Structure 1
Amino acid sequence: MIETSVTNEATVTATVTATEVLLPGKVDPSGLRLVQRELSAPAAGQALVRVESTAVSFAESAMRRGRYFGQPAFPFVPGYDLVGVVEAVGPGVDRALLGRRVAALTKTGGWSSAVVLTAADLVEVPDGIGADEAETLIVNGLTAYQMLHRSAKVQAGQTVLVTGAAGGVGSVLVQLARDTGARVIGTAHPRHHEALRALGVEPVDYRDPDLAARVRELAPDGVDAVFDHLGGASVTLSYRLLNRTGTLVSYSIAAALDDTKPVILDFLPLLAKLAFWNYLPTGRHASFYDIWAGSGKPDSAKRQAFRARMRTDLAQVFALLRDGRLTAKIAARFPLAEVAEAMELAESSGRTTVGKIILVP
């Protein structure tokens, strides 16, 4: 329930009761709980956003296992990103935001019917783009765009390998790479191969014991870039598939999702391996992509630069969507109250869907 009153200064919230999904600890999806919480009115520099669309990502699957590096202590509300409409603003915030559809990268807190956020972190969604479409491209679109253009700097005519090409990030990444003019090889379950071919991707079965040989058949001299979400043994294989000047971008450790040791013990060997490869005089380059890198402290110069970069890149992604050069891949849509079912689908080994799983408050 949201009730507001208007003054000459700003819109002040009288009563805001939000429905949220609470992650109480390391639980199965069925252990997620719906709760209600009264929100404070937006303070100076803040805005109240009525959430229209949020989603399930790999991050939430890792967080419920306590496997996401830097996650908050339990209990907390998950939700890495969201799209919604600005219902109220605090002092110092441009009232032109009122009624506007906005996107936000939150890391946590998005699984709610309403949120209070720093207004400077909001990115306006262009007219003509729906909430669910925009939602598929916030964390996934930013990750894919920045890895492709800022990390690997892929050019037309190059060949890239995308692991998990049918996933949330992968399905966006292959489209962006093809739009750039690159040739794309993608690993995925055979059930997704037809859909990937329709996107112009050359699919390879990720379960093939001779995966490296299959990729080398397609790219005998190696590939110009690999985008690896698995970590572990996969990242070593990915590095070996590069050509003489290729770039490896690692961006997750999905293969270690069910490990029981502290997550830092999975990250440190990966980071050490990437650093060692960069030390070698091979001409190749390896890096780990972190969407929050360089975000800095609140209101710092680094945070302002981070916001500007995010706004610029997300605007590019939204423009590609608006122009029909990028398609929002929505795998399924669930009410927020059915978040357990949504997570079970996202984590199912037999999942037959491609793209992002949307939650609608």
Structure 2
Amino acid sequence: MKAISYRRYGGPEVLEYGELPDPKVGPDEVLVEVRAAAVNPVDWKAQAGYLDGMIDAVFPVVPGWDVSGVVVRPGVSVTEWAAGDEVMGYVREDVLSHGTFAEYVAAPVRTLGRKPRRYSFEEAAGLPLAGLTAYQALHTALAVRPGETVLVLAAAGGVGSMAVQIARHLGCRVLGAARASGRDRVAELGAEPVLFDEETFAGQVRELAPDGVDAVLDTLGGPFLQHAAKLRAPGGRLASIADGEVLALGGLYYWVRPDAADLNALADLADEGVLDVRVAKTFPLERAADAQRANAEGGLQGKVVVTVP
């Protein structure tokens, strides 16, 4: 099969396009013909070696965790899927090795959900990691409830935009912190915009929520996490997906996990029109390095997606 891979840690320059053996399909896995794979910051951070203390790399590594595609063949113990089914997945294994920037991927059943019917393959590829992170953080880490006020940091980003939409669907009031370029997007998603400005950030939130916010979801880390931690109402909860310093602030550091039931719940929300995934740029598989560069440069209002013919 054609695939993107790297044989050593590094930036986009270490990516190679060429032939690799077709994946073996284990009993609990599904062979998926890849149609699209989204780029996420964790892809190029893992590729640079930043996760080496946590996750082993088995070279050559095919990068990519997000995918949408069509089932070719289920493993011998798989009853959930049949050939021809359209799926999406957050295909994160316990090692870095068999990713989604390839013509085929063998995906464990726990990493797959159905593709939303109303989404293109490109849109579906942009949903799993960002959507699962937001869904699980709101439901599990923060346990938000209808009527609560939720502050989302970096609300125009991949995870943040999903969190705004899901929290609004849950009946929450949402304050969405973003840079000036993302202000319109935050308002479009149904949140009340708060501008990322260190001097005025806390004052803006206090003006909108004088009694404090019930929950804070941080997707950025750094100084705004420190400020937001002080803006909670008594008993308010705090979770970060980006900065371990949240633990010292009395919050939770949350890492998303693959979950088939949650993926199917996201697909239902997508088909109900609750979730909008915006695709900013697409690149063919052989230009995956350019896709990584575009994602790392930032400033895009939407997902960067690699397409596989």
Mark yes or no: TM-score above 0.5.
yes
Amino acid in structure 1 at the alignment position of 2:284: P
- Indicate how the Cα distance of structure 1 residues 148 and 120 shifts in structure 2: closer, same or farther if over 3 A, else same: closer
Whether the aligned pair in 2 keeps the contact of 1:20 and 1:112 (CA below 8 Å) is: yes
Q: 2:28 aligns with which of 7, 24, 45?
A: 45
Whether the aligned pair in 2 keeps the contact of 1:171 and 1:355 (CA below 8 Å) is: no
Paired residue secondary structure (1:38): coil
Q: Structure 1 residue 157: deviation in Å?
A: 2.2
Paired residue secondary structure (2:227): helix
Residue correspondence of structure 1 range 196-207 to structure 2 within 5 A: 196-207=186-197
Structure 2 equivalent of residue 303 of structure 1: none
Tell me, yes or no, if structure 1 residue 71 matches structure 2 residue 20: no
- Indicate how the Cα distance of structure 1 residues 60 and 225 shifts in structure 2: closer, same or farther if over 3 A, else same: same
Structure 1 equivalent of residue 293 of structure 2: 344
Paired residue secondary structure (1:291): coil
Q: 1:327 aligns with which of 266, 269, 276?
A: 276
Q: Calculate the TM-score normalised by the size of structure 1.
A: 0.76
Structure 2 equivalent of residue 354 of structure 1: 301
- Indicate how the Cα distance of structure 1 residues 210 and 40 shifts in structure 2: closer, same or farther if over 3 A, else same: closer
Unmatched tracts of structure 2, length 5 or more: none
Structure 2 equivalent of residue 82 of structure 1: 67
Distance 2:306 2:163 in 1: 22
Structure 2 equivalent of residue 145 of structure 1: 135
Residue correspondence of structure 1 range 182-193 to structure 2 within 5 A: 182-193=172-183
Unmatched tracts of structure 1, length 5 or more: 1-17, 254-266, 278-285, 293-306
Whether the aligned pair in 2 keeps the contact of 1:46 and 1:118 (CA below 8 Å) is: yes
Q: Structure 1 residue 118: deviation in Å?
A: 3.0
Structure 2 equivalent of residue 236 of structure 1: 226
Whether the aligned pair in 1 keeps the contact of 2:113 and 2:267 (CA below 8 Å) is: no
Residue correspondence of structure 1 range 161-200 to structure 2 within 5 A: 161-200=151-190
Whether the aligned pair in 1 keeps the contact of 2:66 and 2:100 (CA below 8 Å) is: yes
Whether the aligned pair in 2 keeps the contact of 1:39 and 1:116 (CA below 8 Å) is: no
Residue correspondence of structure 1 range 215-294 to structure 2 within 5 A: 215-253=205-243, 267=244, 270=245, 272-274=247-249, 277=250, 286-292=251-257
Greater length-normalized contact order (CA 8 Å, ≥ 6 residues apart): 2
- Indicate how the Cα distance of structure 1 residues 320 and 93 shifts in structure 2: closer, same or farther if over 3 A, else same: closer
Question: 1:14-36, CA deviations, whole angstroms, 9 ceiling, x for partnerless residues?
Answer: xxxx2222133342323322131
Q: 1:93 aligns with which of 61, 78, 93?
A: 78
Distance 1:194 1:128 in 2: 24
Q: Structure 1 residue 190: deviation in Å?
A: 0.6
Percent sequence identity over aligned pairs: 33
Structure 2 equivalent of residue 35 of structure 1: 18
Whether the aligned pair in 1 keeps the contact of 2:39 and 2:66 (CA below 8 Å) is: no
Amino acid in structure 1 at the alignment position of 2:304: I
Whether the aligned pair in 1 keeps the contact of 2:31 and 2:105 (CA below 8 Å) is: yes
Whether the aligned pair in 2 keeps the contact of 1:171 and 1:354 (CA below 8 Å) is: no
Whether the aligned pair in 1 keeps the contact of 2:117 and 2:271 (CA below 8 Å) is: no
- Indicate how the Cα distance of structure 1 residues 196 and 72 shifts in structure 2: closer, same or farther if over 3 A, else same: same
Distance 2:247 2:162 in 1: 28
Question: 1:284-332, CA deviations, whole angstroms, 9 ceiling, x for partnerless residues?
Answer: xx2111113xxxxxxxxxxxxxx7xx22222221111101122122222
How many residues get paired? 301
Larger Rg: 1
Paired residue secondary structure (2:61): coil
Q: Structure 1 residue 243: deviation in Å?
A: 0.8
> Aligned-residue CA RMSD in angstroms?
2.2
Q: Structure 1 residue 128: deviation in Å?
A: 4.2
